[in-house]
Amino acid sequence: MGKKELLKLASLCLAIAATACGGPSGQPNANVATGSQKLAQIQNQGQIVCGVSGELPGFSFVDATGKYAGLDVDICRAIAAAIFDDPNAVEFRNLNAKERFTAVKSGEVDILSRNTTWTLSRDTGAVGLQFAPVVFYDGQGVMVRQNSGITNLAGLKDKAICTQTGTTNEQNIADRMASLSINYQVVVFEDINVAYATYLQGRCQAVTSDRSQLVSRRSRFPNPEQHLILENTISKEPLAPAVAPGDTNWSDVVNWIIYTTIYAEELGITSENVEEMANSTNPEITRFLGTEGNLGQELGLSNDFALRVIRHVGNYGEIYNRNLGPETPLNLERGLNRLWTDGGLMYSPPFR
């Protein structure tokens, strides 16, 4: 047996040992039942490695205290809370649009939580990631200067539009402008910071990206009120985390932790009342919070994994309001990101 094979065997043994002996809490893990090598590896390393943008206020950025914050960041903290009962057991790595998929498939990061649109070609083929539930329903927009006189897409005829390569935005704007028979000049950059800087310098008359990103970036402009996001929404952009293919049990763990935040909001369980709700006699709540049943064990987690998530990170509504809501600089209306019971698209399968 060669050195490479020995190293692989040693790694496998470590994963098996972590599975048999349990996580940091000392509770036995159920990974033998779930068969998740990735979960066992993460439990053994003591943290998850989360790929983020790191430059998008409201979604993932370093705040004034020097800590990562944002909706995408909180998704990773929720996963860490479920696995380790510690939302800070996360290492964040900034990834640009070009390198993000390779980082997931190579194992450099355990999960990609980086305002990434779920598409067929990214779900199959050469990219072939395993996408988790959508955490933010968005659409692509276009931003121009208030004094440009441009009020719709027709006003962009023969104008230069900045965008980032390696994203859905470049193809979406091409498709829409072609359908309207509008000639324009696209100016693409690998670095999104350069794209926005070029727009601010006046070398592009417009910049296009997801509407949430435009709002987020505009909030950091020297004079944000001088920039207008057109009413046109030119695409669907369901933004979702993703993991590498091949370990369906790990993707199940990620999926159900995200559903936990949505289901908690449906049930009215928050970070402020979760301890009280844990004493409920309602079977739906006791099953969900793990005071009865073994739903967590079936995933390879502690049975109280949902309680851990809500205690440390909160439900989806709390996460949204904390990062994007009316008391934040972005003040994004929830819109499609409301619960299904309130006319939105946020919906969790039953926990049973």
Q: Output the pLDDT for position 166.
A: 83
Here the tokens at position 242 are 């993703």
Sequence-ordered list of residues with C-beta below 8 angstroms from that of 244, at least 6 positions apart, any chain:
38, 104, 105, 107, 129, 130
Is-contact 270 261, C-beta < 8 A? no
Mean pLDDT of the region 152-167: 95
At 199, the pLDDT band (50, 70, 90 cuts) reads very high
Query: Is pLDDT larger for residue 5 or for residue 287?
Result: 287
Q: Output the pLDDT for position 283.
A: 97
| Strand intervals (E) in the chain | 48-52, 55-56, 60-62, 68-69, 90-94, 111-112, 130-131, 136-138, 140-145, 160-164, 185-189, 206-210, 227-229, 237-239, 242-243
pLDDT in tens, 272-289: 999 999 999 999 999 999
Is-contact 319 261, C-beta < 8 A? yes
Q: Output the pLDDT for position 73.
A: 98
- Name the pTM for this structure: 0.88
At 34, the pLDDT band (50, 70, 90 cuts) reads low
pLDDT in tens, 58-67: 999 999 999 9
